[in-house]
Structure 1
Amino acid sequence: MQPPRCCLLLVLLYLFLLSGTWATLQGTFTIRLLQTSTFQNTSFVETEGIGLLEDIQLGSLDKHTWDIHFSQPWVRPALPHSEWDTIDNMLKIYMHKFIHLMTEGAIQKDVPYPFVLQFMAGCKLYPNRTSQIFAYVGYNGQDFLSLDIDNATWILSQDTDLARYVRAAFQNYTTLGEVMEDIFNDTCINAMEILLSYGRAALERQELPVATVFARTPSPHQLLLVCHVTAFYPQPISVAWLRDGQEVPPGPQLNTSPILPNADLTYQLSSVLAVAPQDGHSYACRVRHRSLGTRSLLVPWGNSHLLLITGLLAGLLAAGALAALLLLCLCRRRKHQGTEESQSRNSILSKEA
């Protein structure tokens, strides 16, 4: 039995999802196709797959029908209907051959069920229009095989009978590496540039970060200042704590979480700074992001609400004191005027007598 053109078909499918016209976006961009196949037993296999441009989902694979569902409105117009039919047919052929090969290998090598196989294939396009392709195979969440495109060979990540069997199946298709290299040397660049043109608005989308600063007290001797930043896009961001206007250097007192996704394709993270209560310093969280341009988002902490209330009360007290002083001066002036008028009347009556 001839082994399926497993990764080749994956990559072809991945690239056929792309089309359009030349884009002038600058930077390094990566497209990836992710496939996860769960083999429950010899007769039941469930496969899921998605295609990504950077972190933007282009489409997904229906696990029941193996049809492609587009996640972005600008993906389907990239190719004429006839080409999508070709891709659809090629995908279904690949899925049948892939499942047959893996099931046959599991029987021969007595692989226990259930097990999970994962594939990641893709292409990275650099600003100078050179490209790099990659393909990896995983087994039960562990590295399994990787493609060495320069030598057109598959490299074992774990030396097992099953890994050697799968590598031999892929390697028996002798022109696999050569075909993939030809495809990616030309097709990756052209297809990526086309896709970048169609998806330019999505790739250039910018969402402003929203930052909130608050405190936690895990013990009477420790205060945790938390800067939570959310709703920003794209992903790269800089979050730092300032102490008296100076950036706090990395250390055990500073802990920043990984960048995590939100459901609306924005991101969030938290930065926590441990300080001693009432240490006498002022603190602020500084956020820098592409959407802010050259500006920075600065959110101070230092019992800011209490300081605001204290400031308002001080202002009110000062205004009250000023008003009381003016009223006192006015009363004294009126009293003084009354005394003068009384003395003047008494003087006049005295003269008349």
Structure 2
Amino acid sequence: MVIHLSKVIQNLCLFMQNPEVFILAIESSCDDTAAAILQNDKVLSNVVANQLIHNQYGGVVPELASRAHQQNIVPVVDAALRKANIQKEQLSAIAFTQGPGLMGSLLVGSSFAKSMALALQIPLIAVNHMQAHVLAHFIAEENFEKPKFPFLALTISGGHTQIIKVDDFFEMKVIGETTDDAVGEAFDKSAKILGLPYPGGPLIDKYAQLGNPKAFVFTKPKVPGLDFSFSGLKTAILYFIQKKKIENSNFVDENLNDICASIQHTIIEILMDKLKLAVKETGIKQIAIGGGVSANSGIRNTLKKAEDLYGWKTFVPKFEYTTDNAAMIGIVGYQKFLNQTFETSSVVSKARIQF
């Protein structure tokens, strides 16, 4: 980083003498502009600006997302600082999402983080978005227990579906992942087939709570090992609805709750089948979920019931840390700060990035 090295070293020495570390975290991987302030592992503020403009298009438009990030990032960071009641001069480091995500969106966050770190002469920390979903469980929250290493993490979102073996904060291995659509896509595309507005996943969850999960049967894809596939299920749902609407044009309206419950039940069974196999293969019975789809009530309830059914210890994060947010970026930033894992201004954003 092109800043005065002596100043950075001086700041780090002060931080080592004072155990209080203040991290500004920035998340801009998709369509939410988020900033958070963490004091060590405690969240002081967690601000998110949503981009409602995408709703009319039925999905995220990358160019519109990056423009909205440019408009939102300064007021969002300012709001996070004010809510945390700290001055920017008190910051110990700035953490930002390096990837994966939409390149235009990522560049807005990384450019802002680089500029602010340069101006304040404090360390810059790059964070893997998916690692952040996993490590969100380590944010200090009352009545929320942290998993112990090793554990299995199920990360489920609009763009990812993965089973990860987590041995330490930064020792993670993907042991299963989707071969096509992510689980979030399966929910949203199924909702679109039913004529529900975007984002449709939360609506399927809402209607599913009122329906019979065994009213309709959808065939689960047969994928070897711990990998997932959801494209076939989406196609099966499409053909099923098309056939039923030929027989009865009002079929969806008359059976919406049962259809949603049956779709959600099938998706949850697919996830649970793979989790049970992962536990069998690894011998690890600690299961933590993360990612936007982990906000789904059916998945949360099923995972909690697994504690009694299978003898697992399960961890479900606080609702606000499931969808894209900056607090999860901050907790990774804090751990990297403790390890003094910093970046220079030459660090690049990556639309695709491995663990």
Normalised TM-score (structure 2): 0.20
Higher helix share: 2
Structure of higher CA gyration radius: 1
Higher strand share: 1
